Structure 1
Amino acid sequence: MSMSLEELSNADISMTSAAKKEQSINDIPSAAYVITNEMIRRSGVRSIAEALALAPGVQVTRIAEYNWQVSLRGLNSILFNQLLVMIDGRSVFSPLMSGTFWHTIDTLFEDIERIEIIRGTAGTMWGGNAANGVINIITKNSKDTQGHYAEIAQGERNYQEVNYRYGTRFNDQLTARGYVKGVVGDYYAINDDEWRNIRGGVRADYDDTSRKITVQAGGFETKSDHDWFYGSFDNIQPGSPILFNPSIIDVYSRGLYASLDWYESKGDTDYELHAWTDYNFTDEASAQGEFYTADVDALARTTLSDKHELTTGGGVRVIHRNTEPYPENFYANMEAWGRYSHDPKGTDVIVNGYMQLESHLTDKLTSVLGAKVEYFSLNDTVELQPEARILYKYNEEQQFWAGVGRAVVTPSFVASKTDMYQLSYGHPNEDGKYQINGMLITKANEDLGNESVVTVDMGHRYSPVPSLNIDSTVFYSQYYNTVMEDQRRLVSSDEVIGQPTQHSNIPVYLDSYNDDLDVKNYGFESAIRWTPFETLTFNTSYSFIQTEASCTGYTNCSADAVSGYKTKYIDQPAHYVSVQSLWDFAPGWQLDLWYKYKSEVSTDSYYAAPSISTVDLRLAWQHKSTWPRVEMVVDGFGENAYSDLPGLAPIEETIYFKASWNFQ
């Protein structure tokens, strides 16, 4: 039920995301971290997003019981898009915002081998969105998931989960598995608004001495029910109040995917081909639309000599979008907010080529030099993403590394092609209806520059004994063309959307995206793995992140501004702590605790927030490996209701029970 001391040593933890090849962490000249399967399982989390808080530098904010926003090295926002997220190398970003809808990212936890995290720029290898880092969720080879696996869970907030997976072997080279996963529960702790998620998938692996082929396919559907409002400007007498009517809204998200990964070795060269396609749809009011994506990438890794290795590659991605157009009568049936586009349909292309040279200059000194050129048809731009890194292995126990790189964010369809409207409203009247007080429209801007970041970082790894690993990093990042919103001004709606308001008592305000925000941040990250006894392990991380932002010419840029993007990025927690203890306190018994801390934001702004400290508890029993494993998990042990950020839904202590069984 636990890892050995040797397995916990950095020398025996490998990852593939840094250079698209398997490497020991000690050989990587970047800020690298691996969340193992055991760390995930024993944390008691119910989502991949929550598990990421185990890593240094990663900020996880819970929006609701089944929705999160995840950022890396600051700039935390719901539209955070400086982070590339993948499952087995397949990007799961949304072309709408170039970010990630985390409530749609899930798989069977038992089948996750590890989660690899690269902090800092990784544009040469991965391109768009690998600006602040990369998260790659690596699932197990099907040869390692043979037989039956079943799991059931139930707990507070109407939480229920049922999972099943079956793996089979056709011959010595070919194996396969299939799984299905279903979850229901309350989307918000304070409401009975049901959340449902069902997903499934299959994977087949062919392995021989010089060739490996993996084929995967699957899909998901999520649905949540919420209290909602709608209003109509039609048939209202001028001067009369316009009211919202209460209603119920069903929000759907659906997706399908298929992928092929081909690895082949011939002489001194390794070849890889990766192809995937997916379809995603949601009818959520602020993100409504469907996207079809096809992606092909190929690389060749050649050993030039005993000291030099050259990797070259390239790829193309085609994205067809079909988003919501402006309705003929914008005011006929208005929801609390929504998003429309004057250019709802189109096909966008991303093309890239890259080269990276790894050189062993001496027995102790290794350099990595590379660059990627990437073209984005959405705004007809070409970007260069270079990187230079160096690793010095002082001895087997200590390594020093440093690097500098530039990476860009994939242009966002949200900011360049869509308009967002929001209706403001006051308290309900005695009939339970809300009066509409005004409208804010955030206008698209097709002239935005591509967001980019240049990061300089350096780090040190130290493992005096196999049971202790200390990993430390310092970094400084300068951001360019960071998107914010313009000064709000009163306008007539026909100036914005071509349809005038029918009532002068409803003021219309206009915002527009621009790229005039100057942002820089710096910080320190540390991770310590310590196993003082074979039965006790501590996984600890600490992050300090400080962000500076400035702009001129807009109301929210003033020194005393209390809201807006500048203030949001400045007024974020500076300190994050995670301490996970894994204790096998008796034969067959495990007691695991996970302490998380987020420092306060003490300002006069809208984003001021108290510090948050939580403890999650897991108690598990398994008589022997062929028996079911039974677990009790307490999320937020002893905690009163709190919010991860101001204005978000409250989070409360939650208890659930789980039973799982691996059997042939």
Structure 2
Amino acid sequence: MLVNKWFNSWFCFQRFNPSLIKIAISVAFLTQSLEVNSQDLIELSLEELANIQITSVSKRRESINDAAASIFVITNNDIQRSGVSSLPEALRLAPNLQVAQDSARNYAITARGFNSVFNNKLLVLIDGRTVYSPLFSGVFWDAQDVVLEDIDRIEVISGAGATLWGANAVNGVINIITKTASQTQGGLVSLSGSGEESYLSIRYGGALDNGGNFRVYGKHADRNDNTNPATRRSLDDGFNRDKAGFRSDWVNENKKLTLQGDFYDGYLSQSNTNDIQISGANLLARMNTTLSNGSNLSLQGYLDYTYRKQPATFKENLTTADIEVKHDWKLSDKHNFTWGGGYRAGFDRLENDGVAFMPASKNLNWGNVFAQDEIMLTEKLRMILGMKLEHNNYTGLEYLPNARLAWKFADNQLLWTSASRSVHAPSRIDKDFIAPGFISLVGGPHFGTEKAYTYEVGYRATPTNKTSISVTGFYTEYDELRTLDLDLSALELEFKNKASARSHGLEMWGAWQVIDDLKLSGGLVVQDVRLNTSQTDILQDTGFGINDASSHSLLRISYDISPNHLLDATARYMGKLRKLDVPAYTALDIRYGWKINKDLEFSIVGQNLLDSKHIEYADPVRTSAASPEYDRRLFAKVQWYFR
């Protein structure tokens, strides 16, 4: 605790100590003649970015320029130059995501609508491991963390991805992929913070005697509580979290093997009761091998344990075991076939406190098989047909088809269209939940899957070697969406499937390398989501329904003042959240990076520079007056690489 207090005071830029500036300048004069570290990430050109290899669209490596989907890739260079401090903040760099900070530790993140801190229509993976909770089929973002310097890329798909990724990939997929162990050799100490938060990452990588490579890491993160703008009292929403882990990779001519694991522990502040306790651990193994016929076989399995004690609500121990096999087989010059299957078992053990899940303990099972064929109709025209069959405890067998057509009518231009069906399978809160009271809130015994039918058309091009553009139009019909219906005769609020919705919109983003040292990039999303629901549904009246901005946009400017001095600016616009009475806002962040020598870099970030303060999200259980406000602040970071 004493270290944390010292660390926060060191970074308290509201009372920035001038002596620190003197120290930094002194270090610079002593080391300015040294060359820039050759291990620093080399910024890719736009032409190289247009051909970056991705895996999320077809579950095999392909150029993003050939992907028939609305996908944006956040690179490691994007993350480093933006100066973001956490994983959710890094996701703001994807123009096809809507990210809103709800508290010091929690975020509402979505693609194409239905944004909420309990969003259940977005699938999130970290190195192939699904990180959603079966309690509500969403993500506890307060428990997710990685060393930002170790991220290779984040692939963000907006639109359905259920054919390959399964239920809950209704509106999008976020696939966070870290670097291999061979890419993180040597040591790193990264220290960053402001007067409100602090982060410390330590990582070391080396070679193994048997030809492999490894890395180990530890990370500490903490954030002070926000202040209630109405009462000026603490909102008790801060956190303190520690994490450690490892990764090892072995590569030979025909085989790749990965073994990695993580452990975390922390506490989350909350009002009027004890802190929330969180902890967890996971272990993952993955093997990729090339068979004698040239096809590729992949086998992955992982164990994941999470613990969450939320006083006055519940205590959960969840153990998950998952295994998946995938086979990529080029049947002929015209057929590229991918098939596989998987099984996941979840052992959920709850202790009810205040609310109840009945039964408290439950074994959950998901099984699936999938197949997809990429058919070359002509030299420039491809058809992709796929189907996934998935079985779950609550609704049995679900079918998830997908059809795509891609026309690469020029080497640098792709026109594509798609149609797909996806579902959100019930979670435990939909079926097993009970909150007693004068009017009880209960899960619906007959609650079924929410269904979505999505139609897209897109265009992606690199008109020149200095410009790139992607445009996607989409239309989605949602049926049997969740409602919370009031039954006065039984004095109950029950989850049912009585709503439907229609959404349509346009997503576009692009980049322009103006000169060698100056790059502009940005994106815009406009959308309209309309909900039709029952007269007895109270979700809309309480603000838990459609809480999405009709438009949001992003603009980034990256300028290399010199090889050792970098300047970046990021401007974000978010439209009004009408149901939550959150006004539209524009935020501007500016980062200056200084490569002091080949091993040492210092950066400073000014955040939210346009407004003295703004609100991003209002939890429906609070009034907007009690929602945290985010004001201007300075954030500093020091990175030291060593051998």
For the superposition of Structure 1 and Structure 2, which TM-score range results when normalised by the shorter chain? Answer: 0.7 to 0.9
Look up the match of 1:253: 278
Residues 1:255 and 1:187: Cα distance change in structure 2 (over 3 Å): farther
1:355 aligns with 2:371: yes
The equivalent residue for 1:143 is 182
What do residues 391-441 of structure 1 show as CA deviations (whole Å, max 9, x unaligned)? 10011121101001111223211111112368xxxxxxxxxxxxxxxx653
Are positions 1:643 and 2:615 aligned together? yes
**Structure 2 stretches lacking a partner, 5+ long:** 1-39, 229-233, 619-623
2:582 is matched by which residue type in structure 1? A
Find the aligned partners of 2:565 and 2:49 in 1 and give their Cα distance: 26
Query: Retained in 1: the 8 A contact 2:106–2:117?
Result: no
CA distance in 2, matches of 1:601, 1:153: 32
2:336 alignment counterpart: 309
In structure 1, distance between residues paired with 2:369 and 2:335: 20
Which residue of structure 2 lines up, in the alignment, with residue 499 of structure 1? none
- Spell out the pairing of 1:282-297 with structure 2 (5 A cutoff): 282-284=308-310, 285-286=312-313, 288-297=315-324
- Give the structure-1-normalised TM-score: 0.85
State the AA in 2 paired with 1:486: D
C-alpha contact 2:163 2:402 (8 A) present in aligned 1: yes
* Matched position secondary structure for 2:389: strand
Amino acid paired to 2:595: Q
Question: Partner letter of residue 185 of structure 1?
Answer: R
The answer to whether the Cα contact below 8 Å between 1:5 and 1:534 also exists between their aligned partners in 2 is no
Instruction: Give the aligned residue type for 2:56.
Output: S
1:577 to 553, 556, 563: 553
Distance 1:189 1:572, change over 3 A: same
State the TM-score, normalized to the length of structure 2: 0.88
Q: 1:172 to 1:591 in 2, by over 3 A?
A: farther
For the residues of structure 2 that align with 1:512 and 1:525, how far apart are their CA atoms?
36
Task: Give a deviation string over 1:495-536, Cα, whole Å, max 9, x none.
Answer: xxxxxxxxxxxxxx6311111011121110001122111212
Quick one: structure 1 residues 250 and 147, their matched pair in 2 at CA, closer, same or farther if it must change by over 3 Å?
Answer: same
Partner of 1:210: 254
For the residue of structure 2 that corresponds to 1:51, the secondary structure is: helix
1:167 aligned residue = 205
- Checking the alignment, whether the CA contact within 8 Å between 2:47 and 2:466 is kept in structure 1 is yes
Provide closer, same or farther for how the CA distance between residues 286 and 56 of structure 1 changes in structure 2, counting only shifts above 3 A: farther
Preserved CA contact (<8 Å) 2:430 2:444: yes
CA RMSD in angstroms, aligned pairs only: 2.0
Aligned residue type for 2:85:
R
2:266 alignment partner in structure 1: 222
Any stretches of 5+ residues in structure 1 without a counterpart? Answer: 229-247, 328-337, 423-438, 492-508
Matched, 1:394 2:409: yes
Equivalents in 2 of 1:339, 1:525: separation in Å?
41
C-alpha separation between the residues in 1 aligned to 2:278 and 2:73? 30
In the TM superposition, residue 656 of structure 1 has moved relative to its aligned partner by: 1.8
Equivalences for 1:101-120 in 2 at 5 Å? 101-120=140-159
Identity of aligned residues (%): 27
Matched, 1:615 2:630: no
Q: How does 1:165-204 map to 2 (within 5 A)?
A: 165-171=203-209, 173-189=211-227, 191=234, 193=236, 194-204=238-248
Q: How many residues of Structure 1 are paired with residues of Structure 2 in the alignment?
A: 589
Determine helix, strand or coil for the equivalent of 1:124.
helix
Decide whether the 8 Å contact of 1:217 with 1:258 is kept in 2: yes
Q: Does 2:631 align with 1:658?
A: no
> Within 2, Cα distance between the matches of 1:340 and 1:182?
33
Written as runs of structure 1 = structure 2, the 5 A alignment for 1:54-65 is 54-65=93-104
- SS of residue paired to 2:89: helix
Structure 1 residue 250: Cα displacement: 1.1
The question of whether the paired residues in 1 share the 8 Å contact of 2:43 and 2:77 is answered with no
Question: Is the Cα–Cα contact under 8 Å of residues 124 and 131 in structure 2 kept in the other structure?
Answer: yes
**1:552 is matched with which residue: 509, 534, 543?**
534
One-letter identity of the residue aligned with 2:357? S
Partner of 1:240: none
SS at match of 1:79: coil
Q: What is the alpha-carbon distance in structure 2 between the residues aligned to residue 622 and residue 515 of structure 1? A: 56
> 2: CA distance between counterparts of 1:548 and 1:324?
38
Q: Alignment partner of 1:644: what SS?
A: coil
Q: Counterpart of 1:231?
A: none
Specify which of 278, 296, 315 is matched with residue 304 of structure 2.
278
Q: Deviations over 1:268-301 (max 9, x none)?
A: 3210101011011111255631211000000111
The offset of 1:490, in angstroms, is 8.0
1:121-136 → structure 2 map (5 Å cutoff): 121-136=160-175
Given the alignment of the two structures, is residue 443 of structure 1 paired with residue 487 of structure 2, yes or no? no
Q: Per-residue deviation at 1:197?
A: 0.8
SS in 2 for 1:227: coil
Alignment of 1:321-400 (within 5 A): 321-325=348-352, 338-377=354-393, 379-400=394-415
Asked if the contact 1:633–1:655 (Cα under 8 Å) also holds between the matched residues in 2, the reply is yes
The residue type equivalent to 1:632 in the other structure is I
Give the AA of the match of 1:302.
Answer: W
Q: Alpha-carbon deviation of 1:28?
A: 0.9
Paired residue type of 1:251? I
Q: Deviations over 1:102-157 (max 9, x none)?
A: 11111000100000111111111111211111110000010010010101123112
Q: Kindly indicate whether the alpha-carbon contact (under 8 Å) linking 2:51 and 2:65 is maintained by their aligned counterparts in 1.
A: no
SS in 2 for 1:448: coil
Distance in 1 (alpha carbons) for counterparts of 2:262 and 2:537: 47
Match of 2:498 in 1: 516
8 Å Cα contact 2:322-2:345 kept in structure 1: yes
| Equivalence for 1:594 | 570
Residue 544 (structure 1) shift: 0.8
1:658 and 1:524 map into 2 onto residues whose CA distance is: 37
- Within 5 Å, give how 1:14-93 maps onto structure 2: 14-93=53-132
CA distance in 2, matches of 1:45, 1:544: 25
Q: Say whether the 8 Å CA contact 1:6–1:12 is kept in structure 2.
A: no
Aligned mates of 1:524, 1:171 — CA distance in 2: 52
- Counterpart for residue 194 of structure 2: 155
